[in-house]
Structure 1
Amino acid sequence: MLTLAIDTATKVCTVALCREKTILAEYTINMGHTHSEGLLPQLDQLLARTGVQKSEIELIAVSMGPGSFTGLRIGLATAEAMAYSWQCYLHGVDTLKALAYNLPLEGVVLSPVLDAQKGNFYQALYQWENGKLVELAPVAVVSAEQALERMALTGTQSLLLGECDKLVKKGLPAFIKAAPEALRMPRACSAALLAQDEFDADNDRKIFGLEPYYIRRSEAEELWEKKHKQ
């Protein structure tokens, strides 16, 4: 299945083309640029350099969160428009689960994290078993201390992925290490591979109606509620 993947959940803007498990191309920018300006040019260049025609794409994978509120909306709106125009399947993937696909390594607990602001993190825990990714703990908003505690409870060597610099700077216990930087960042090819594994022909025909996985309300919503309670 020829899959085009988009991940704009963080400051990283990444797009990829995969045919089954083969990565044909990936284009990643980690400069914190506005995704609304950079996403479409990246997609155009990806297709131009690979020579892939839009009509050949069978599945579009898009990262659904958690992550940046604005980035998620940009990615989803673009993916929906393309899926509708090209009449192909559309599948939303969990951003943290896709991060765990960066490192299909058994025998360790994978802890992808994203910055949730105000000293908090989005975190989930996964482990690869017999080639399948198993969820050990669901996505939650946790403090730095809680993130380390959740990993400690597994009793297994753990690897951090994603936006983990703040945790690393605080100092990590011996049983927790940060994955190499090249494997920490969101990668659209991982989103593509996850979407192929989760593919459901019936549900993935429903192009519209996907909702980003925000988990918490945006800061703007919280400020609005606080103002109107006064």
Structure 2
Amino acid sequence: LIECKEEKVIFLGDALERYGEIINQTLGIRAFEAPPSLRVNRAALTAQLGLERFKTENNRDNYLKLQPLYLRRSEAEVKWEKRQKGVETIEAKRACD
């Protein structure tokens, strides 16, 4: 997946400690590591990273077209799916009774 991206890619999260070197070797200057204070996922992070990019590159992206690419589902999504499967199982059992 990493090799498919031609533009710069911003990386954040705790996996940077483990995979940062591999990412940098693979993408070179296209890899941008978020500062440590901004690596924890939260809603304001996207805005902060965009501001940093704007300041350093004078790059004016259309904010309405920005779309994060998540490599895995959030914990909330995983828990929701498990609950839904439980509900479906209960409903299926009731239908068979």
Fold agreement, TM-score > 0.5: no
**Structure index of larger Rg:** 2
TM-score, normalised to structure 1's length? Answer: 0.20
TM-score, normalised to structure 2's length? Answer: 0.37
User: Which structure features the higher share of strand residues?
Assistant: 1
